[in-house]
A and B are shown apart, each in its own frame.
Chain A
């Protein structure tokens, strides 16, 4: 009901011609924040106006004819049926117009393709259903998934009104941070199926393909937060793997890089110490929600026929090592989480599945015990690509 009222309000606003910035955003392509995105916007407007102009001309003639050349007005049919001259004219005019469009389009295309002399490189890997970012010059590496508030609200019958969630479905737990006015080269690949990395404000999208590397580049003019989504159907949660890019001026960016390095050190020392079972279980609950619940469901019941239940599963309630190997290396649709999780997250989520979700095995896995196995599987990953 509230939506409907808003809808009518919005429609009537537009009807009286109040072209607010908001309405413009919803109707047309955005200009974006890079030179290329602005060039693309200009191309878009150029073709749009050409089409509108041709449309008015053709439909104008047609509707004139429909109005005046009708039998009910007593119009007698002429009997002409061909004219080579006319046919040649209306072949040549569109050809000229097309050439006029192709020239600026070619220029922009060449510009988009020019990935050389970049200031820095970021490798982006698409996963079902999250993004992995690796700063190749800085040793920063993390995953980026849909934020928790959106994830709760988007469950079927959640009862949460999406309008109350800030940036519903367009927010992540850990955004990609880039410096402004630097030429950034992106390298794209995927771990499982095709995805496509798209931030409209940057002006383009690029498919991520398992086993192959694609390239693109950007240089953002002004600091800000820019949001996008996966654009290539990649399975059931295709709609739920957003992208958030935060562009910062260089000093702020440098500070961010420092923070990442400090956090990485803290993480590795945490993996070295002894964890209590309760600590692991409570940490594991969050890890489970972010990484496992979309297939095995929040209650561990799975989806019959597609994703097995964890509650009472022979793997989860059996030998600890079997479960570790399965989660480490993946199997079928189950991704190899050894490449995704750090030691603490890995150990805690295993401990959680064995002692929650209706299971009660009683044992616990220490982060230190999996550190070397994880390092191996992440090295394998690097070797595969080499």
Chain B
């Protein structure tokens, strides 16, 4: 096959199919990347709208807009849509676009499976969304699907379970494809320890996905059989144990949150050096820190369950193991800081989002460390304190980095420059409002407000109102992001960008050695020179 492709010149390779068929049958990694990214952006707005329903109801004490059951459905669906519909597909989209280009490969290793995994994602998302219109409502037991509560779901339960199966198969296929690509398709000279960190972090993420998605699929299948086939995996009356589900779920769930953060680390490690005009500090330690975090993620799951009544030895073990995560995570933060140190920094939108990421993610890390302390978690657990914690590690971390990545690579993809002035406005609106939105939630949690409640005691009113105001500013600011992206695709500022786009970017990674916009087929012949700036190479 490679012989066929090699026969064509890069600029004159096969073009895409014409019309809508291009998007349905495509096996081109760039087209599939685009499909993933567009889907993720659409789902980001769907999940965001659900978040605004939640924040509107919580604006004041008392119930104003929705019934409690629907509120619980919104809480559940917001999480499912954001995790499985927005953040994960967005990173897969970036992986599709960038991994082949970054390692000097012509495409993903398994292009047809690539197409299939995208359409399975769509099927899964349609199925989970359809539950909103079912008798008994969408799942309302939280995205964690804890039994016995989740077994009280109406007609939606089997659909939710099958949706999880589809999403899981899609993720596993995507992960296999990424691993196969990285192991087999690297250009000559692109050794593992020369790969850009985005490629490294995605490879580790892909292994995590393959390890955990079957576990989640198994857990929800047991829910299905408990409900419909009279098994008692999670029912004490039949000899089962509801807490068993939580152990299985979090064995999946903890690595799952790292699935959403490891590629984030990779992108931050890619963007910060470009705008600091300096090699990344501690490339090797970054790789090892990522691998350690991934390993630790498998042995800390019960820190989500400190209050279920584990033996004290279990509590202590999971506390110590969880505290260990602070060490490799700290190394990463210190490395990013050292990368900026004595650099020659400029502050374009991608860099601004990265700096906000380092600061705000670190704050999420601090609260994570606080919650690792088991006795203190007896107070923090299931309150708004944890809501604040994980939103700090997801919104101004994963989401901000996804925006940074969009601004960073959009000129490369389209050949057009985005409007820097508007992008900066978008950054400042987002960075300020995200803190108005989530910072007060720390206070609410410490003051005693449980999570997942549609109404609250009046002493929580002030901070909830502030948080809701922040939510609406944040939500509507994202429309500006949508506008900037569409405008850039349609020609942007009119200024055509160079191949390099960012000053000296070609020293950092292979994509900047190719023309902008990236041709439909790239690296039909492998690159001869591998950039080694991140290793301090010259």
Chain A residues proximal to chain B, CB less than 8 Å: 3-4, 6-7, 10, 25-30, 36, 39-40, 43-44, 47-48, 51, 54-55, 58-59, 61-62, 65-66, 69-72, 75-83, 86-87, 90-91, 94-95, 98, 101-102, 105-106, 108-110, 112-113, 153-158, 160-163, 167-170, 188, 192-194, 196, 198, 200, 203-207, 209-212, 214-215, 228-240, 303-306, 333
B307 x A206 contact (CB < 8 A): yes
For B324, the chain A residues whose CB sits under 8 A away are: 98
A149 CB to nearest chain B CB (Å)? 13
For B376, the chain A residues whose CB sits under 8 A away are: 40, 43-44, 47, 105
For B337, the chain A residues whose CB sits under 8 A away are: 58, 61-62, 65
User: What is the chain A residue whose CB lies nearest that of B134?
Assistant: A305
B60 at the interface (CB under 8 A from A): yes
Interface residues of B in 444-463 (CB under 8 A from A): 446-448, 450-463
Q: By CB atoms of chain B within 10 A, which of A108, A109, A214 has the most? A: A109
The answer, among A77, A109, A161, for a CB contact under 8 Å with B278, is A77
A10 x B462 contact (CB < 8 A): yes
For B536, the chain A residues whose CB sits under 8 A away are: 79-82
B333 at the interface (CB under 8 A from A): yes
A381 CB to nearest chain B CB (Å)? 13
Q: Given contacts A7-B462, A94-B326, are A156 and B67 in contact (CB under 8 A)?
A: yes
B535 at the interface (CB under 8 A from A): yes
How far apart are the CA atoms of A137 and B393 in the complex, in Å? Answer: 48
B488 CB to nearest chain A CB (Å)? 24
Given contact pairs A75-B344, A169-B61, a sample of 12 additional A-B residue pairs in the complex whose CB atoms are under 8 Å apart: A54-B366, A65-B337, A69-B341, A82-B536, A98-B327, A163-B458, A168-B61, A193-B148, A203-B378, A205-B307, A207-B307, A235-B72
For B535, the chain A residues whose CB sits under 8 A away are: 81
Number of interface residues of B (CB under 8 A): 105
Q: Given contacts A62-B337, A158-B62, A305-B135, are A43 and B327 in contact (CB under 8 A)?
A: no
The answer, among B61, B242, B315, B367, for a CB contact under 8 Å with A209, is B242
How far apart are the CA atoms of A112 and B462 in the complex, in Å? Answer: 33
How far apart are the CA atoms of A168 and B460 in the complex, in Å? Answer: 11
- Pairs across A and B, CB under 8 Å, 30 listed: A7-B465, A25-B447, A27-B446, A44-B370, A44-B379, A55-B362, A62-B340, A65-B337, A71-B344, A72-B346, A75-B344, A79-B279, A87-B285, A98-B323, A102-B320, A105-B375, A106-B316, A109-B312, A109-B374, A154-B455, A163-B461, A188-B309, A205-B379, A229-B448, A230-B450, A231-B381, A233-B72, A235-B141, A238-B453, A333-B152
B462 x A71 contact (CB < 8 A): no
B236 at the interface (CB under 8 A from A): yes
User: What is the chain A residue whose CB lies nearest that of B443?
Assistant: A27
B514 at the interface (CB under 8 A from A): no
B455 x A47 contact (CB < 8 A): no
A101 x B323 contact (CB < 8 A): yes
The answer, among B69, B316, B450, B463, for a CB contact under 8 Å with A236, is B69
User: What is the chain B residue whose CB lies nearest that of A29?
Assistant: B446
For B309, the chain A residues whose CB sits under 8 A away are: 188, 206-207, 209, 212, 214-215
How far apart are the CA atoms of A44 and B452 in the complex, in Å? Answer: 23
How far apart are the CA atoms of A113 and B51 in the complex, in Å? Answer: 38
Interface residues of B in 499-523 (CB under 8 A from A): none
For A207, the chain B residues whose CB sits under 8 A away are: 307-309
For B367, the chain A residues whose CB sits under 8 A away are: 51
The answer, among A3, A26, A54, for a CB contact under 8 Å with B459, is A26
The answer, among A70, A108, A211, for a CB contact under 8 Å with B346, is A70
Interface residues of B in 52-87 (CB under 8 A from A): 60-69, 72
For A75, the chain B residues whose CB sits under 8 A away are: 342-345
For B25, the chain A residues whose CB sits under 8 A away are: none
A94 x B154 contact (CB < 8 A): no
User: What is the chain B residue whose CB lies nearest that of A205?
Assistant: B307
B236 x A212 contact (CB < 8 A): yes
A202 CB to nearest chain B CB (Å)? 10
For A112, the chain B residues whose CB sits under 8 A away are: 375, 378
B154 x A48 contact (CB < 8 A): no
B379 x A79 contact (CB < 8 A): no
Q: Given contacts A43-B373, A65-B342, A82-B282, are A194 and B446 in contact (CB under 8 A)?
A: no
The answer, among A91, A162, A236, for a CB contact under 8 Å with B67, is A236
The answer, among B141, B148, B342, for a CB contact under 8 Å with A210, is B148
B355 at the interface (CB under 8 A from A): yes
Flag B72-114 by CB within 8 Å of A: 1 or 0 each.
1000000000000000000000000000000000000000000
How far apart are the CA atoms of A53 and B282 in the complex, in Å? Answer: 24
How far apart are the CA atoms of A160 and B458 in the complex, in Å? Answer: 13
The answer, among B66, B331, B345, B446, for a CB contact under 8 Å with A71, is B345
How far apart are the CA atoms of A54 and B146 in the complex, in Å? Answer: 36
How far apart are the CA atoms of A47 and B140 in the complex, in Å? Answer: 35
B386 CB to nearest chain A CB (Å)? 11
For B462, the chain A residues whose CB sits under 8 A away are: 6-7, 10, 26
For A206, the chain B residues whose CB sits under 8 A away are: 307, 309
The answer, among A39, A154, A209, A240, for a CB contact under 8 Å with B375, is A39
How far apart are the CA atoms of A71 and B345 in the complex, in Å? Answer: 5
For B450, the chain A residues whose CB sits under 8 A away are: 198, 229-231, 239
For A211, the chain B residues whose CB sits under 8 A away are: 235-237, 241-242
B144 CB to nearest chain A CB (Å)? 9
Interface residues of B in 27-51 (CB under 8 A from A): none
B527 at the interface (CB under 8 A from A): no
How far apart are the CA atoms of A193 and B536 in the complex, in Å? Answer: 57
Flag B130-145 by CB within 8 Å of A: 1 or 0 each.
0000011100111000
How far apart are the CA atoms of A196 and B382 in the complex, in Å? Answer: 9
B281 x A170 contact (CB < 8 A): no
B369 at the interface (CB under 8 A from A): yes
A302 CB to nearest chain B CB (Å)? 13
B63 CB to nearest chain A CB (Å)? 4
Q: By CB atoms of chain B within 10 A, which of A55, A69, A154 has the most? A: A69
B472 CB to nearest chain A CB (Å)? 14
B283 x A82 contact (CB < 8 A): yes
How far apart are the CA atoms of A59 and B337 in the complex, in Å? Answer: 8
User: What is the chain B residue whose CB lies nearest that of A72?
Assistant: B346
The answer, among B64, B65, B281, B374, for a CB contact under 8 Å with A80, is B281
For B465, the chain A residues whose CB sits under 8 A away are: 3-4, 7
A70 x B344 contact (CB < 8 A): yes
B383 at the interface (CB under 8 A from A): yes
Q: Given contacts A6-B462, A306-B69, A306-B136, are A110 and B312 in contact (CB under 8 A)?
A: yes
